[in-house]
């Protein structure tokens, strides 16, 4: 019987294109012309395990045949390269599985920067976005219902998808063209330092939300010797900027996933206050009605049971900053600073919470990041 896997995430390469062009028939012409429907109709005439179907389809067929996933899973997601071939292949795969198997929830997602004509973008932005996209799909599903098929794509793509999946405690499968069956990849001896992540959670969350940020915004993390392989610092247009490396993205996403799996034991207790009893106060020179939208933003945070109140303590009408959360050094260990900007002015608000340890506050920063505007 099929197990509990209802959602499958697959990496995608060019084996389908290679197989079709080798045929030199109407299907080849249909692919060359970008005709998704005609290409899909040809693929439907083949046996589900025919080699011309490409690595993605034959590996998924093997998973169905062996009961790893249902023949009609609830969801299929294809992570494609940032190329015309990647987009075309993704479109064909979506059409094929909707038509042949009647699966409604089939999508493809472009991994921006994942292209073989720009090695710098590929090894940085491309692999980072592959991990980020994969993690987003894993987290939106209940634990134990998602698997990764890391068969298709560039070797580096397969490697990073495989490691990311194992770090996030998701089963990873792979089928080599010479294998008769698909195999589950054995666990890797991957271990990361959670203390480094928690101590610098505000910088990791900030980097994860933006592809690149000024080094001055993540100085504490960049200064840590242990973060050398996790952070890429480079100079662009005369200023130093920082970004997560692909390994850094795996490091971060792995711990975010672990947080969600252990959320109840990591967060501080809920407050007895209802949202209507929580106040948003202002200190002199720091209004609660500017920049525009700040009241609505703070109200979202006050609706969380672990936030007990808020007070603005900084306002600059001429300083645009990125929205973020960070520990409030003025109120240890419970305070969290919300940096809020409308792109022109910036306000800083202290969110008081029920946290009683720095670890609880760090966990709460992870939790509240989803509420950032």
List, for the chain, all residue ranges whose pLDDT scores fall below the cut of 50: 1-2
Predicted confidence at residue 113, as pLDDT, reads: 95
Predicted confidence at residue 181, as pLDDT, reads: 81
Predicted confidence at residue 1, as pLDDT, reads: 37
Whether 340 contacts 325, CB under 8 Å? no
Under 8 Å CB-to-CB from 104, ≥6 apart: which residues?
98
CA dist 354 and 2 (Å) reads: 44
CATH hierarchy code of domain 191-261: 1.10.10.10
Handedness of CA 313, 317, 319, 322 (dihedral sign): positive
Among the listed residues 334, 287, 291, 293, the one whose alpha carbon sits nearest the alpha carbon of residue 311:
287
CA dist 298 and 310 (Å) reads: 8
Under 8 Å CB-to-CB from 157, ≥6 apart: which residues?
11, 13, 81, 114, 127, 130
For residue 278, count other CB atoms closer than 10 A to its CB. Answer: 20
Whether 3 contacts 68, CB under 8 Å? yes
Same fold, 7-184 and 191-261: no
CATH hierarchy code of domain 7-184: 3.40.50.10770
Half-sphere exposure of 348 (CA within 13 A, CB side): 14
CA dist 177 and 53 (Å) reads: 12
Predicted confidence at residue 198, as pLDDT, reads: 87
Query: What is the residue extent of each domain of the chain?
Result: 7-184, 191-261, 268-361
Predicted confidence at residue 172, as pLDDT, reads: 93
Summarize pLDDT for 163-220 with one digit per residue, the tens.
Answer: 898 888 899 999 987 677 898 987 666 667 788 898 899 999 999 998 899 999 999 9
Predicted confidence at residue 188, as pLDDT, reads: 63
CA dist 224 and 302 (Å) reads: 33
Predicted confidence at residue 334, as pLDDT, reads: 87
Among the listed residues 58, 61, 52, the one whose alpha carbon sits nearest the alpha carbon of residue 18:
52
CA dist 357 and 35 (Å) reads: 59
* Phi, psi of 118, deg, nearest 5: -145, 90
CA dist 308 and 354 (Å) reads: 7
């Amino acid at each position: 019987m099929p197990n509990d896997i209802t959602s499958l995430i697959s990496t995608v390469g060019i084996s389908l294109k290679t197989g079709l062009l080798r045929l030199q028939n109407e299907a080849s012409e249909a692919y060359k012309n970008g005709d998704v429907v005609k290409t899909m109709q040809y693929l439907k005439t083949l046996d589900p395990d025919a080699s011309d179907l490409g690595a993605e389809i034959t590996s998924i067929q093997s998973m169905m045949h062996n009961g790893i996933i249902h023949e009609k899973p609830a969801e299929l997601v294809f992570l494609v390269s940032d190329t015309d071939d990647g987009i075309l292949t993704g479109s064909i795969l979506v059409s094929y599985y909707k038509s042949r198997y009647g699966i409604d929830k089939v999508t493809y997602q472009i991994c921006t920067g994942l292209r073989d004509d720009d090695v710098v973008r590929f090894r940085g932005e491309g692999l980072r976005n592959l991990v980020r996209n994969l993690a987003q799909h894993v987290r939106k599903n209940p634990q134990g219902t998602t698997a990764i098929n890391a068969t298709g794509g560039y070797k580096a793509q397969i490697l990073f998808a495989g490691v990311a999946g194992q770090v996030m405690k998701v089963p990873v499968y792979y089928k080599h063209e010479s294998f008769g069956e698909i195999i589950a990849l054995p666990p890797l001896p991957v271990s990361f330092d959670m203390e480094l992540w928690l101590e610098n959670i505000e910088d990791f969350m900030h980097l994860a939300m933006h592809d690149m940020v000024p080094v001055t915004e993540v100085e504490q993390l960049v200064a840590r010797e242990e973060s050398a392989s996790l952070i890429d610092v480079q100079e662009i247009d005369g200023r130093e900027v920082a970004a997560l490396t692909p390994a850094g993205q795996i490091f971060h996403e792995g711990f975010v996933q672990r947080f969600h799996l252990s959320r109840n034991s990591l967060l501080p207790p809920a407050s007895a206050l209802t949202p209507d009893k929580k106040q948003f106060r202002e200190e002199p020179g720091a209004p609660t009605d500017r920049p525009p939208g700040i009241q609505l933003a703070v109200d979202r945070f006050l609706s969380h049971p672990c936030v007990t109140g808020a007070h603005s303590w900084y306002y600059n009408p001429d300083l645009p900053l990125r929205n973020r959360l960070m520990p409030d050094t003025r109120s240890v260990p419970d305070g969290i600073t919300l940096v809020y900007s409308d792109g022109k002015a910036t306000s800083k608000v202290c969110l008081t919470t029920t946290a009683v340890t720095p670890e609880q506050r760090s966990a709460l920063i992870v939790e509240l990041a989803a509420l950032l505007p």
